Structure 1
Amino acid sequence: MERQAAGGQPAHQRSNHKQIKPHIMEEWVGKVYTTLCIIVLIVTIAAIVYFVASRGLSTFFVSGVNVGELLTGLKWMPEGDIPMFGALPFIFGSFSTSLLAALIAAPLGCCAAIFMTQIMPGAGRRVLQPVIELLAGIPSVVYGFVGLSIVVPFLRSVFPGQGIGIAAGAIVLSIMILPTITTIATDALAALPFGLKEGSYALGATRWQTIYRIVIPTTLPALLTGVVLGMSRAFGEALAVQMVIGNAPHIPRSLFESASTLTSVITLSMGNTVNGSPHNNALWSLALILLAMTFVFVFVVRFLERRNKQ
């Protein structure tokens, strides 16, 4: 006969209660910790958006600058007798360098991913993937120095001009976003169902026919997701582009003329302005444009992810 506890419960029931309570406590602590982390994340994002938006909108509500003038104006003279805040050259420079970088890096990254997953998965991942990961860890200032030492002299010797400009910035950015595109494309291609390729081979298709008729169309939304994320990084890059683009506040007539981007003008001018001045507020408006474009890139990525799941 089992011994009864003082409360009338057997000994083995008391031991079970003692074992269950720590698990309940751990689950409660985990839920509270996760909830606090989510709250901190949401509050941080909301604070950043509020701070940038409040400072950026001061250009229109405090300094009296017209929205159309900022977005479509061609002259940027914030310290002149008649201040002019035309940011179109910077917007054009950011979009042109990002698009050209994506056009250069997307084929290279997708081909590298196809090589590592479809053609030589063993040797490709053993040799090529560490190289791609090494590119991802290089600081942006190093890319800038490489651009000044190699890319700019090469463009100067082959094309007219000084070598600095949109083309140099796009080439440097394409190397910087190559690991992002390659990594996402590799993960997408590696997750492709094996039976899909085997069915194509069973129907008599060659490896290349399977790749460009089955593999690429099936994983196209995921591949485009990598390209959009790469463009997002290129759009927000400042230091490397600033070192090779020339930082001229006008719309270039060719790829080999000096230009400027939103990030470069912010980094060059923010430290030389007075807090609350029209010039300072205009720079915050440029930062607001960058933040808005980041949200656009995120929405595009989410849309492509939903297409990929469908």
Structure 2
Amino acid sequence: MSRTVRSDWILTVLTRSLAIVSAAIILLILSFLLRESLPALRQLGIVRFVTDVSWHPLSGQFNFMPMVVATLVTSLGAIVIAAPLGIASAVFTHFYAPSKLAVWYRRLIELLAGIPSVVFGLWGLVVLAPIVANLGGSGQNLFTATVVLGLMVLPTVALLSDSAIASVPREWIQGAAALGMQRSAIVGQIVLPGAKRGIGSGIILALTRALGETMAVLMLAGNIVEMPTSLLSPGRTLNANIALELGYASSAHRSVLFVSGLMLMLVVATIVIAVSRRQRTTHDGE
């Protein structure tokens, strides 16, 4: 066996082994959540998580809907904030910023990506919440949590959009410029359509991170389990609820909390599968 063939064989075995380990870890997490959730699912069923009057575990009331709505509002709202800013950031870096400024700008975005969520939470609590309080309430509400969450996932969209734009063939851009297209037209008609799969992946990754964020949302959303009537209403997400109550939950209550964790994982899996299928269909159509 030649050295090249042997290296290829080792690399193949290594990558396949790591892929199997990664899949096994995900399956183990899923099986653990299922095992811990089964007592609640058998005893209560699924319908009660939607039809119960409210969330009062000590009284046997387990309505998830206010927390599901709060989770979706903060996560989707964060993407509404982060997606246009992140894409604009990547476009600015590649087409409008001087080269030296672009280098430092990327480093700044990378630094933003490394800031711990608790620091974002502290900033939102001390700086943003008093400003939002002028609109009504205490300032600890879904709007404050959504804005801070949008800033947290912004680097994910910006950096992956930057990579996607960088992967667009330079010949396309040079050809469009040779035809006399303006820079804005090149960006809008050549670059962004060519990078849409990578940009879309960045947005989905940011959305899954927003769905999984706990600490900052716990600090800023108000943590009141009630159906929100506006963005200025306080709320509690599923993640924050698990973090707050798991430490003292009884056996039945604990199993219900694992049901909410299982629900979150299934939501993320559904989003990823749906987007992957759509991208595959679009690619086959092209």
Same fold by TM-score greater than 0.5: yes
Does the aligned pair in 2 maintain the 1:222–1:304 contact within 8 Å?
no
Alpha-carbon deviation of 1:246?
A: 0.6
1:284 alignment counterpart: 258
Return the letter of the residue paired with 1:102.
I
Alpha-carbon deviation of 1:40?
A: 2.9
> Given the two structures, how large is their TM-score scaled by the length of structure 1?
0.84
Does the aligned pair in 2 maintain the 1:74–1:87 contact within 8 Å?
no
Asked if 1:57 corresponds to 2:60, the answer is no
2:271 alignment counterpart: 297
Does the aligned pair in 2 maintain the 1:225–1:304 contact within 8 Å?
no
Alpha-carbon deviation of 1:29?
A: 5.8
Asked if 1:187 corresponds to 2:166, the answer is no
Identity of aligned residues (%): 31
1:212 alignment counterpart: 188
Q: Are the structure 2 counterparts of residues 106 and 283 from structure 1 closer, same or farther at C-alpha, using a change threshold of 3 Å?
A: same
Q: Distance in 1 between matches of 2:5 and 2:91?
A: 47
Q: Distance in 1 between matches of 2:10 and 2:36?
A: 39
Q: Structure 1 unaligned segments of length 5 or more: list them.
A: 1-19
Q: Distance in 2 between matches of 1:249 and 1:288?
A: 19
Asked if 1:93 corresponds to 2:93, the answer is no
Q: Are the structure 2 counterparts of residues 74 and 173 from structure 1 closer, same or farther at C-alpha, using a change threshold of 3 Å?
A: farther
Does the aligned pair in 2 maintain the 1:242–1:260 contact within 8 Å?
yes
2:178 alignment counterpart: 202
1:79 alignment counterpart: 58
Q: Distance in 2 between matches of 1:199 and 1:23?
A: 39
1:266 alignment counterpart: 242
Matches within 5 A, 1:118-267: 118-120=95-97, 122-157=99-134, 159-267=135-243
Alpha-carbon deviation of 1:239?
A: 0.6
* Secondary structure of 1:111 counterpart: helix
Q: Are the structure 2 counterparts of residues 115 and 72 from structure 1 closer, same or farther at C-alpha, using a change threshold of 3 Å?
A: farther
Alpha-carbon deviation of 1:220?
A: 2.4
Q: Distance in 1 between matches of 2:181 and 2:70?
A: 44
Count of residues in correspondence between the two structures? 284
Select the structure of larger CA radius of gyration. Answer: 1
Q: Distance in 2 between matches of 1:204 and 1:27?
A: 46
Which 10-residue stretch deviates more, 25-34 or 261-270?
Answer: 25-34
Q: Are the structure 2 counterparts of residues 21 and 224 from structure 1 closer, same or farther at C-alpha, using a change threshold of 3 Å?
A: closer
- Alpha-carbon RMSD across the aligned residues, in angstroms, is 2.2
Q: Distance in 1 between matches of 2:108 and 2:278?
A: 28
